Amino acid sequence: MAVTEALDIERESKGGRTRRRIMAEVQSMIDEVGIHAISQDAVARRVGITQSALRHHFPTRESMFDAIFDHIFSGFYLSAERVLLEPGHDPRQRLLMLCELHLDYVVSESDRVALQSFAHYVDNAELLARQSGWYHWITDHYAALLGAIRPELDGTTCRGRALAILTMSIGAWITIGRSRPAWPSLPGIAGRDALLRAIEHLIDA
């Protein structure tokens, strides 16, 4: 390998590490103070780099948030795809695994970051289109799995129930997110488990 090629790889590796560190710190800042309180100057100081170094990776404040939210969204998409491709599960198991994946993510990750990402998507047509495409993609898979579980159901019913399952999973950010209090009306049962039972009812009813 030529010396210049080795140097290029080293620079790319350092650049990748810096970019990941910036994104991790900004994600923590969103959780701590909210997106509107974050400036590029504050990010540079927190990461310990110059503003010019920050702008090398993210020329604008908006591009920084675009990259972070897209990274989070893409990571969840890949996790769902792995569940769909994993061998050895019947349709009911696979559908419940997808729902558990989504609800486990809701109760373990920052709802403050998630809810602000939803608002950010509305102002970015490209990200909004990707998000909408994913919603249709996962709903189609839910409907196909429901059809395999309940072949007596027609396509419209399967799609309607699939949409209800997705709505319950996304709405969980509002009701059982990490910062939300426990539900006293559900003694002895976690909100996540209550939603999973409701989803099972949609599957089996």
* pLDDT per residue as tens digits for the range 176-188: 988 887 788 876 6
Length of the chain: 205
pTM across the whole model? 0.83
Q: Is the pLDDT of residue 21 over 70?
A: yes
pLDDT score of 7:
45
Q: Which of 127-131, 156-160, 184-188, 200-204 has the lowest mean pLDDT?
A: 184-188
Q: Which domains does the chain have, with CATH numbers?
A: 1-59 (1.10.10), 62-204 (1.10.357.10)
pLDDT score of 3:
42
Largest Cα–Cα distance of the chain, in whole Å? 67
Confidence band, pLDDT 50/70/90 cuts, at residue 17: confident
Percent of the chain past pLDDT 70, that is, above it, reads 92
Distance CA 128, CA 51 (A): 29
From residue 50, how far is each of 54, 97, 129 by CA, in Å? 6, 44, 34
pLDDT score of 151:
97
Q: Is the pLDDT of residue 114 over 80?
A: yes
Query: Are the CB atoms for 177 and 106 separated by under 8 Å?
Result: yes
Packed helices 61-85 and 125-149: angle between N→C axes, nearest 10 degrees: 10
- State the alpha helices, DSSP H only, in the chain: 3-33, 40-47, 51-57, 61-85, 91-108, 111-122, 125-149, 155-175, 191-204
pLDDT score of 8:
47
pLDDT score of 123:
85
Q: Is the pLDDT of residue 201 over 90?
A: yes
The position carrying tokens 């998000």 is 131
Distance CA 117, CA 35 (A): 9
Number of Cβ atoms within 10 Å of the Cβ of 42: 14
Averaged over 142-159, what is the pLDDT?
97
Q: What is the DSSP string of 39-94?
A: -HHHHHHHHT--HHHHHHH-SSHHHHHHHHHHHHHHHHHHHHHHHHH-SS--HHHH
pLDDT score of 44:
95
Packed helices 91-108 and 61-85: angle between N→C axes, nearest 10 degrees: 150
